[in-house]
């Protein structure tokens, strides 16, 4: 099946608080976004990579992906959900069989996880990288523990989140304007069954400066 990776890179990195959006900061010698794009370009089952950006940072984008031969970037929107929907609309012309939607801010995505998400799409219409919750969960109230939450069956959702393309395009169009925090939630709302694909802690989302330090340590040590 044809499979396109759609990279959401139109955020502004408010929580990170750098002088530019975090996906354009260097880590281990190249921009975060370039690590992310290269991970999908080198995967043999991914036929193309398309990136959703904020056009205000077009120059940073061009520098980050120079020489990779990507198609024209897609303009994002105010929310991540809007950005992804714009990206899917732009892919409608090429109509791939499958799409893997991924955060630009997860540069440590590995081949094995990408393969596992694609493989799961053979059985289910949707599949997401995720990690089982390991810590004991507490619900807090005014700084003290109100109660302990049963963690059994709980997972932390990552990306990539893979879908059969026509399903997720229709689901996103139907969900426009809602405030759903990931694409799986959009799929769930459309009644699609979403497979959980065990992934790695290393595929964390760069959110704060400490996260970038952690990513640098892993990349510099050649662990990923």
Q: Name the site residues for Mg ion (rule: CB under 5 A).
A: 11
Binding to ligand CTP by residue 14, rule CB under 6 A?
Answer: yes
The residue count for binding ligand CTP (CB under 6 A) is: 23
Q: Which of 112, 115, 110, 114 minimizes the C-alpha distance to 219?
A: 110
Binding to ligand CTP by residue 160, rule CB under 6 A?
Answer: no
Partner touching 81 among ligand CTP, Mg ion, none, CB below 5 to 8 Å by kind: none
Alpha-carbon span 105 to 205, nearest angstrom: 5
Q: Are 194 and 128 in contact (CB under 8 A)?
A: yes
- Cis peptide leading into residue 89 (ω within 30°): no
Q: Which residue, 181 or 193, is less far from Mg ion as judged by CB?
A: 181
Q: How far is CA 82 from CA 14, 149, 184, 185, in A?
A: 17, 32, 14, 14
Partner touching 12 among ligand CTP, Mg ion, none, CB below 5 to 8 Å by kind: ligand CTP
Q: Are 49 and 99 in contact (CB under 8 A)?
A: no
Q: Which residue, 9 or 175, is less far from ligand CTP as judged by CB?
A: 9
Q: Are 100 and 118 in contact (CB under 8 A)?
A: yes
Partner touching 83 among ligand CTP, Mg ion, none, CB below 5 to 8 Å by kind: ligand CTP
Closest CB to ligand CTP belongs to which residue?
11
Please give the residues from 177 up to 206 whose contact with ligand CTP meets the rule CB under 6 A: 205
Give the interface segment with ligand CTP, choosing from 13-21, 92-100, 128-136, 169-177 (CB under 6 A).
13-21
DSSP E strands in 78-224: the ranges are 98-103, 126-132, 137-141, 144-149, 155-164, 194-198
Binding to ligand CTP by residue 156, rule CB under 6 A?
Answer: no
Please give the residues from 57 up to 86 whose contact with ligand CTP meets the rule CB under 6 A: 76-80, 83
Site residues, ligand CTP (CB under 6 A): 8-16, 21, 23, 52, 76-80, 83, 103-105, 205, 207
């Amino acid at each position: 099946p044809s499979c396109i990776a759609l990279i959401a890179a139109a955020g502004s990195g408010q929580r990170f608080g750098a002088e530019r959006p975090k996906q354009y900061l260097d880590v281990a010698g190249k921009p975060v976004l370039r690590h992310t794009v290269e991970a999908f370009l080198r995967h043999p089952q991914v036929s193309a990579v398309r990136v959703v950006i904020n056009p205000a940072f077009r120059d940073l984008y061009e520098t980050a992906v120079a020489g990779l031969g990507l198609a024209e970037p897609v303009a994002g929107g105010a929310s991540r959900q809007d950005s992804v929907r714009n990206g899917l609309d732009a892919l409608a012309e090429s109509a791939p069989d499958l799409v893997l939607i991924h955060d630009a801010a997860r540069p440590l995505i590995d081949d094995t996880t990408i393969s596992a998400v694609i493989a799961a799409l053979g059985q289910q219409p949707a599949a997401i990288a995720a990690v089982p919750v390991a810590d004991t969960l507490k619900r807090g109230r005014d700084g003290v523990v109100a109660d302990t939450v049963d963690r059994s069956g709980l997972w932390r959702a990552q990306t990539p989140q893979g879908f059969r393309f026509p399903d997720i395009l229709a689901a996103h169009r139907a969900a426009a304007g809602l405030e759903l925090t990931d694409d799986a939630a959009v799929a769930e709302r459309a009644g699609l069954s979403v497979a959980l694909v065990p992934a790695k802690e290393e595929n964390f989302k760069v959110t704060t400066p400490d996260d970038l330090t952690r990513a640098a340590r892993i990349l510099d040590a050649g662990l990923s």
